[in-house]
Amino acid sequence: KMESATGPEARVRALNLDLPTPTTPVGVYRPCVVVGNLLYTSGQVPFRSDGSLITGKVGADVDLAGGFSAARQCGIVMLSNVRGYLGSLDKIKRIVKVLGFVNCSPEFHDHPKVVNGFSELMRDVFGEEHGIAARSAVGAPSLPMNTTVEVEAIFELHESAASGSSL
């Protein structure tokens, strides 16, 4: 769909995505760690642009569409934090692996459909070839701060980005 816009930064603009200010860690961890040419993110939760969190349990007080939106918002937050760390999303070659946790009731079984909110955004930003990752979508009995979804990912960096000593 967005293949005509070249590079992730151009696709972010074409999609009119409003990437918020990168979030500040609320614990003892780094939002991003680079090892070799791989960038690992910590779990990203669905902060809205006003700083509030999307909360609630899918299958109880949040429906599938609400879970999908929360997962997409995790993607917006992740793109913001990765851009803040690297300086540009164009330093990313591809998304490699995604792990999505869905805060849900025991009888809810559509975790993959929720995490698609994140995955479809990555596909739209990084393209069909480089924006679709290996993935796991898991249900959780609770998540930090009662957030609806938490997602972490691993990205492959272009060689020039990975070899920079500033990272």
- Going by C-alpha positions, the residue among 102, 70, 71, 85 that lies closest to residue 155 is 85
- Strand-pairing partners, residue 17, are none
pLDDT, tens only, 23-33: 888 889 999 99
d(CA 108, CA 63): 10
- What's the average model confidence in pLDDT over 5-20? 93
Structural element, H or E, at residue 141? none
Q: Where are the alpha helices (DSSP H) in the chain?
A: 8-14, 64-86, 111-130, 159-162
Q: What are phi and psi of 151, to 5 degrees?
A: -135, 135
pTM: 0.93
Note whether 114 and 102 are within 8 A (CB): yes
pLDDT tens-digit series, residues 83-132: 999 999 999 999 999 999 999 999 999 999 999 999 999 999 999 999 99
pLDDT band at 164 (very low <50, low <70, confident <90, very high): low
